[in-house]
A and B are shown apart, each in its own frame.
Chain A
Amino acid sequence: MAVLCGNCAGKLIFNPATQKLECATCGSAFRPEDVEDKNAELHSKYYDTRVYLCSHCGAEVVTSDTESSTFCVYCGNPAIVFDRVSKEYRPDGIVPFQVTKEEAVKYIRLRFLKNPIVPKEVKDKCIPANLRGIYIPYWIVNTDYTEADYIKGEVKQGKHSEIRYYSRAGKVKFKNIPIDGSNILSDDISRKLEPFYLEDAKEFDEDYLNGFYSNRSDLNYYDLRASTAYRCHKMFEDEVVKSVQARNVKIVDSIYHVDIHDDPIYMMMPVWFFTFKFEGKPYTVLVNGQTGKVVGTMPWQKKKIYTIAVSIFVITLALSAFCFWASENRFLGMSQIYFNAVAGLIAMESFFFAKGFFGIKKILKNLKLTQSEAIFKFVKKRQE
């Protein structure tokens, strides 16, 4: 369980900045690989953890012996109770945290918090005390993969467009694809956290977990095969459409097969979770603990956004009306300039409308992903 300082028997915590275990009591520092595991034989297959249960969303939060949990890192609820001491399968490897909690806060601030539409309440909550470091389980898989696609595309024939169909089939050998091993974290979110660089991976040592939470893999073989097939299919699909010389290329139908090679590698990857509540809704912003990549969508002040949108609408409308009037009345003798300005705006309006409409729709979808109520629902679904 807890690793104690060899000098004063204080608890040791892993510091990502120095990559060493540090004693908060006497300040001694040790390399994780130098700290002796007195129960090495007993721990060869499993390692000990403390499991907390969130009574709000049902998530299991796993910690090492040195960290006690005070709120659920997934839904932000403080209704979390110690459940049991558990033996977990020992992962093959671990990518230790390289980004410190303070750096993670800095990356979130740099990415989001300079924006004036982010509520002050949220900005105030972005402090190191509200971040939790979690090791997320991943399976690193190698696969053989085959796919056949029936594809549709538009080809220009003079003034008209013609629909044409294409067939593509091929094989790929995928190597080291990381597949999120935890059902609680949406695959859409975990995919955006990538890349993780396996060059920095170490052989698993539970000392790296000191001071952090961890999650255990609850995937079975069938889940892993389904996630891997989907992941390979998405990558194949993105590539295969590039091979078709047409516009608006879409895959109409496809068939695919995957074969996962022997012994996928069980790895722990570092992620910082910033969980907070705003207007009664939970939000989770993630930071890749190796690269510092920030993933999430921040809430905004609705009043401010409506004011900005309405103001732009009114100003543009007034300007258009003025230009029409000026063009008709040859204001200052420059009717052509006003006419061109309006014509230019009109020519661009379809682009502006499509980009704005679909862009906002996508942002709202991403906001829903960040509102970890989605994770809550997902967990509930798994429990049914």
Chain B
Amino acid sequence: MNTMDSYVLVYGMYIGLGVFSALALSLFITYLILNKNNNYGDFAPDIEEYSQGGIYYTREVNNVTSHEKNFLFMEYGENPYEGRQHNYPEQLLKNSSGDQNDSL
């Protein structure tokens, strides 16, 4: 590589980095400005808000294999609430279409 080539390479890199820096900063500041028009925020009430005592862990294993994944889903695949009978308001039942015949 001669001196001319290395100059082109170095200055090409400078220009590339300069353009990318300008683009990145421009995007970032535009985002900050537009964000003032946005109020969906990230807030949604978490588990603490609506639960009694948070999660009661029945399994907490680190470093598992994909083989153990199958066992996990076999163990927890069955619905533990199957067969529980409940009363639900008439409105919820009347809104149901006739083709859904699952028991509640």
Contact = CB atoms under 8 A, between A and B. Distances in A.
Interface residues of A, number: 96
A165 B69 contact: yes
Contacts of B22: 312-314, 316-317, 320
Contacts of A165: 63-66, 69
A374 B57 CA distance: 39
B79 A257 contact: yes
Interface string A88-118: 0100000000000000000000011001011
Contacts of B72: 148, 150, 167, 169
Interface in A231-275: 234-236, 238-240, 243-245, 252-253, 255, 257-264, 266
SS of B interface (majority): mixed
Given A148-B73, A352-B25, A356-B24, A172 B92 contact: no
A129 interface: no
Contacts, number: 257
A352 B61 CA distance: 37
B17 to A, nearest CB: 5
A194 B69 contact: no
A258 B68 CA distance: 24
B76 A172 contact: no
A259 B38 CA distance: 36
A234 B76 CA distance: 18
Given A168-B57, A253-B73, A346-B17, A359 B37 contact: no
B70 to A, nearest CB: 10
Contacts of B58: 169-171
A192 B28 contact: no
B40 A296 contact: yes
A245 B100 CA distance: 43
A236 B46 CA distance: 9
A320 B52 CA distance: 56
Interface string B1-43: 0000000000000100111111111111111011111111101
A176 to B, nearest CB: 6
A297 interface: yes
Nearest to B81: A259
Given A173-B51, A345-B21, A117 B56 contact: no
A238 B34 contact: no
Contact of B37 (A191, A195, A300): A300
Interface string A9-49: 00000000000000000000000000000000000000000
Interface in B62-104: 62-66, 68-69, 72-73, 75-77, 79-81, 84, 86-97, 100, 102, 104
B31 A298 contact: no
A70 to B, nearest CB: 27
A176 B86 contact: no
Contacts of A324: 14, 18
Given A243-B60, A355-B31, A175 B96 contact: no
Chain B interface size band reads 35 or more
Nearest to A216: B91
Contact of B50 (A118, A176, A223, A360): A176
Interface string A170-194: 1111111100000000000001101
B34 A305 contact: yes
Contact of B40 (A223, A295, A345, A348): A295
Nearest to A318: B22
B64 A166 contact: yes
A166 B95 contact: no
Interface of B: 14, 17-31, 33-41, 43-47, 49-66, 68-69, 72-73, 75-77, 79-81, 84, 86-97, 100, 102, 104
Q: Which 6 A-B residue pairs are closest in the complex by CB-CB distance? A: A356-B27, A259-B81, A148-B76, A353-B24, A356-B28, A220-B95
21 contacts: A89-B91, A112-B37, A150-B72, A165-B63, A165-B65, A167-B60, A172-B51, A172-B55, A194-B45, A218-B95, A222-B100, A252-B69, A255-B76, A296-B40, A305-B30, A316-B22, A345-B21, A346-B17, A346-B21, A349-B25, A360-B27
